[in-house]
Structure 1
Amino acid sequence: MTNFKLTVSDVKGKSITKELKDSDANKLLGLQLGNETDASIVGLQGKLKLTGGSDKSGVPMRNDIHGSARKYILLSKGVGLQAAEIGQRIRKLMRGNTISEEIYQINCKFDGELPVEAPAEVAAEPQENK
């Protein structure tokens, strides 16, 4: 029973969020960051490239750590380190580049443009006061 929140961004910078459950989510298990998959799992025509993600506790995935385990690594710049001074290195907890059941959010890049959806209009119904 795997659930993922999939954030899909297009070439123009627009993004949408979809929630994948069970059978659709199982198609992503075992894929690594940088791999491409079919965009039909979110209802689009084309390819999705996996670019990142994080687990249930917010630990980010990093492309240069193999596997799906969480590891402490020494960072001087890059993914997972906001601001470090010149010459400063910090040991941080990161997750590997393979999607497993512990992953909560996955970031993807769509190779085309996302369709424009019209905003849903809220029907104004009069409410009775009692």
Structure 2
Amino acid sequence: MLESLPKEVRDGLDAARKRDERRKSRLRVKVGEAAFKVLRFWDDGFALDAGLSPAKLRGLVDVYDGSRHTFQCLIVASSIEDGELLCDFKRVTAVADRAALDFWRDENAPVGYLTGPKRN
């Protein structure tokens, strides 16, 4: 259907679609001090706007949802297709807000202990 439209109209529609995707997305990738909006995110990768991001992206990056740090990803490959930088990652790790426990916590354990009145 879009093939019958003039090239200028198709380019305008593509630009409007990309602008709308950038506006809707809250996810962003942070590499050092630079941050880039995520256009799409799937199980083993994500897409960035190729015009606003580096030509190749590899290594460990942080993914934020607004101001909340959500993932750390290890990018192993990136390629440019249709104006998008497609990044595939080998590992994605959810970021926890507290340190992992190094002991087993019983579900029925008391929260605290009450002591009786002090005797002299």
Choose between structure 1 and 2 for higher RCO, CA contacts under 8 A separated by at least 6 residues: 1
* Higher Cα radius of gyration: 2
| TM-score, scaled to structure 1 | 0.28
More strand by share: 2
| TM-score, scaled to structure 2 | 0.30
